[in-house]
A and B are shown apart, each in its own frame.
Chain A
């Protein structure tokens, strides 16, 4: 079975987020990058399916040069090759992203049986790309999946809805977007790292025509003042406590 997993890197943040001077991006100068837990689960699922059924795992990632770091990271846990859609940013309109990924998948020699994505990206959380990609490729899609088995060319997918669960049977080839909790992703091993260095990455140019959402700017979140405040000790604190309760609306 040949599986394709779409991954997108984003900066690993502390509690205070620094923006670039023009306010158009997060200042990543001193930050590392990572994948969202959803996507880590998607890659883990793909690697488990390969271990079970045989086949290949291909990664697709869009972005500038640095995305190779996350590609190699996922190579280390068992993905075999990657398609890197070179673009200036990872911040791409979901429609344009879906089209570019769809183009790359169609152009690739491998006919993928299953295309996995995270249900939404960790930074923008649009939850759009998977659905639009399925539409672009004309394939069925199941979203926000937390359980999946494959048998006889059918993916059985489970999704939690409140206290219930929904079960979908999706005939392959299909697109499935998954959520954190699907599995416990493995850590890369040192031999995995060493193998990862030699695995191939095919570079393709991004055609981002059709991007209709444009970023106008990012406001930095207002930070809470540090630490807890002591309102006082014993009886003396009572009045202050009442004031706070009124402020937050639990007392009138």
Chain B
């Protein structure tokens, strides 16, 4: 590994730790929200915003920017933390999450907060939106790329497969979806609730190029995003195996932490754990 790659991995690791702490603080302060699925995708979204995506946080409407659509909109705390750390808005504002008058709505709302590319939260819709943005890029011959983050349970929504079919039909190779495969949804393991498995085979059969990675490995994620740029004529899907609640021992793989806020004591414990990793 080159020294610059080494530095990049360290830098991304540092950002991820800050973002995890931000998520805990935000959700604890709000008293509600979705920590589990926010924590599972930290490395994915951090990699995108701090290395992969061509963006100008100071010019959020730059027409040639790469776009990120959070289809699993309940991971809004993650998106907001990343946007704030990337400089789209002041980090102090993170603690207004879910409060009356805040730009940080419970689920991402387009037009309020710089950097939020679409209104999401009703599951299954972000891939269609991403497809539309990707098609517009093709029409206009702009070379931006569109990234969509989906949950694994979200694959149970029929619209996801409508979008999957259409994206392959129109050959939008400027579209890359990432699937946060943490294996859990509100009612239990995805395999038990209403199995969308096997995922790679399904996506391949719908005409997508598919790559499976460890969703907490920056190295694998970076390589996968590079791979996706080289896919031509069809959309690409990165299935990222993750751990729900990653980084906080008592939240990891615990379905109860899908949509529950830690109380003061739990938040302190979580932050101490995250701090311990840092030092």
A and B held together in a complex: no
